[in-house]
Amino acid sequence: MKVQRFQDLIAWQKARVFVRAVYALTVVEPFSRDFGLKNQIQRAVVSIMSNIAEGFERNRLSEFHQFLSVAKSSCAETRSLLYVALDVGYVAEPVFQVTLDQGDEVGRIIGGLRASIQREMDA
- Cα–Cα nearest to 39, from 27, 51, 21, 57: 27
**Does 3.30.310.50 match the CATH number of domain 6-122?**
no
- H, E, C per residue of 43-82: HHHHHHHHHHHHHHHCCCHHHHHHHHHHHHHHHHHHHHHH
pLDDT value, residue 1: 57
pTM above 0.75, yes or no: yes
Residues 66-120: tens digit of each pLDDT: 999 999 999 999 999 999 999 999 999 999 999 999 999 999 999 999 999 999 9
Mean pLDDT for the chain? Answer: 96
Tell me: pLDDT of 122 over 70.
yes
The domain spans of the chain are: 6-122
pLDDT value, residue 78: 98
Q: How far is CA 117 from the centre of its chain?
A: 18
* Integer angstrom CA distances of residue 53 from 32, 50, 58: 28, 5, 9
